[in-house]
Amino acid sequence: MVFVTVQGNRSVELNEIGFAVSPPGGIVLPVNMFIWVKVAVVVFALSGVILSILGIQRLWGRRVWMGGLEGLIGLLLLAIAALMVAISINLYTYERLAHESTVAEVRFQGIGPQHFWAYLMFKNSAKILDLRGDEWQVDARVLKWHRAAVLIGLDTLYRLDRLSGRYRDLYQERTAPRTVYNLSEEPGLDLWMIVRRYARWIPWVDATYGSATYMPMVDGGSYTVSISSTGLLARPSNDIARNAVGKWP
């Protein structure tokens, strides 16, 4: 199994096997929104530090009630600041979605029966992955906000989750070697888990759902993967892939 990471101008090397020059990318939060998040973190953190220090001083001066209260409030503000940082770090693994966008390109090279190299390009990087099966599938996580949150600049968020090989035959799917690859990391606080577990306490979240699309693998076939508010969609991008889809049982 081989992994190749390509960034910046070096992506030209993969263009020779059919990838586009400028793959999509994005940031999770609008610039103004992100600035306010940073300001809030700084304010909470500084206030927490100041109140914690004052609380310690009052406790040292035997003013237990006031010192304890200030200390607890200070620790609470520091905890809120840390929570905001953890959530922001995890949000950066998602991409903004304002309309249908191309999120990945994938091209296949056959190396044996039901065995392919998958050249995957997404978010200004690329991977070469070993896939087995008759079809390929890509999965994504989608986080959709209520209209009130959209009005303040929060777009629908998505994150590519996995790439895997599929067998058309159900018996092979159960018994043959499986190949599944993770396409994202989980830094900071797991926002997906929190939103799904505590959905009733987060009213500005409209929906969280998984989306997947799959197509046949064929030597020389090339596909583009797009996403909209309704989920993922794969389309053949060359004649080899179009012919494979046309003959797909």
| Helical spans, DSSP H, in 11-161 | 12-15, 31-60, 64-91, 147-151
Q: Which residue has the higher pLDDT, 226 or 157?
A: 226
d(C-alpha 53, C-alpha 238), whole Å: 65
d(C-alpha 83, C-alpha 30), whole Å: 20
d(C-alpha 120, C-alpha 107), whole Å: 7
For residue 140, give the H/E element and its range.
strand 135-145
- Residue 227: both structure tokens together: 């996403």
pLDDT band at 41 (very low <50, low <70, confident <90, very high): low
- Residue 114 gets the label, from left (phi > 0), alpha (psi -120 to 50) or beta, of left
Q: Which residue has the higher pLDDT, 142 or 175?
A: 175
**Whats the size of the chain, residue-wise?**
249
pLDDT tens digits for range 8-27? 333 333 433 343 333 333 33
pLDDT at 195: 67
Mean pLDDT of 153-179: 89
pLDDT at 85: 66
CB 144 within 8 A of CB 117: no
Count of helices and strands (H, E) across the chain: 7, 10
Q: Which residue has the higher pLDDT, 64 or 108?
A: 108
Percent of the chain whose pLDDT exceeds 70: 54
pLDDT tens digits for range 59-107? 666 666 666 777 677 778 777 777 666 666 555 555 555 567 888 999 9
Sign of the dihedral through C-alpha 96, 97, 101, 107: positive
Q: Which residue has the higher pLDDT, 241 or 28?
A: 241
pLDDT band at 137 (very low <50, low <70, confident <90, very high): very high
pLDDT band at 212 (very low <50, low <70, confident <90, very high): very high
Supply the mean pLDDT for the chain. Answer: 74
Rg (CA), the chain: 24
What is the bridge-based pairing of β-strands 156-166 and 135-145?
Answer: antiparallel
28: nearest Cα among 149, 155, 209, 148? 155
pLDDT at 92: 56
| Unique residue bearing structure tokens 């809030």 | 40
Give residues with Cβ within 8 angstroms of 242, minimum separation 6. 236
- Residue 245: both structure tokens together: 């889809």
